Structure 1
Amino acid sequence: METNTNIAGCGGVMRDASGHWKAGYVHNIGICSPLQAESWALLKGLQLATTHAARKVIFESDSSEVVRRMNNSHVDATDSNIILACKHECRRFEEVKILLIAREKNAVADFLAKLAKQYAQGVHILTTPPVEVARLLEEDATGIPQWRFSVKTR
């Protein structure tokens, strides 16, 4: 695992209408902000869907800021170049929905983002899911969330 916590990674999975894995990716980004990492995740997901000739797509993100910016129909002066690239990529599809989901419901992408730091910098396409993802895919298909708990001490 990468010991430098400034290194960012993102990952995503493309599924069919039944929730089965079609393809995935991990992207070792390098150093960037959390918002940039979330934006890169969407951009790489859009590009992956384009390479698979998808026409109607639904993207789920646990970043309320990325979802807000993408669902804003006009270009905002504060939009980054990555968000602008995402908006441009969206034009390639017949229909695009970008939805906000809880981080606990985004376990596969969360795992892939952490896994990305083990790869060389850049994007790596995964034609089959990593072995560690199989359980998460099954839990996603059955709707079992991965809850995170924190303990508060005085």
Structure 2
Amino acid sequence: MTIMNTYNDLVSAVADEIKVIVKDFRFKSRSSDEALINVFEGYMPERTSKKDDENKDYPAIIVRFLSASGNIDKSEKLAKVRIIIGTFNENSDEGWKENLGVVTRLEHELLKRAFIGPFSIEGEVDVELPEEQGVPYWTSAIDIKFTLPQTQTEINWEA
């Protein structure tokens, strides 16, 4: 019997797809003008040193499972994933625009795909750029719902 961990599988599949999408994106970080975007599943890793602080936080994308819901008849189960985008820019006139540019490109590329592994994008896609920002760190989020693979009922004929 194979045990599936579908919620973790979904987060991993979305994170892997995002890594492909952003592989050529370059943005400012605290230590460089040409930094790759780090992609994390769930949460950012714990910082262990000052060097980690400078090189492994922003720019970053975090893929996080939020919730799931479904019908009792198992006809459809939806899971919501939040994609958090964090960028670094000391210029308050450009910082929010740069962050929103990443959101736009990422949203467009994900919606073009429609399927990520066995998961299909469904319903509304919500984008949020919070009003309060901690300049020079800019944060936004994309919430996307995915249809999960159906659970198949097993019948034990031997019982």
Is the TM-score greater than 0.5? no
TM-score norm. by structure 2 comes to 0.27
More strand by share: 2
TM-score norm. by structure 1 comes to 0.28
More helix by share: 1
State which structure, 1 or 2, has the greater radius of gyration over its C-alpha atoms: 2
Determine which structure has greater relative contact order: mean sequence separation of CA pairs < 8 Å that are 6+ residues apart, divided by chain length.
1
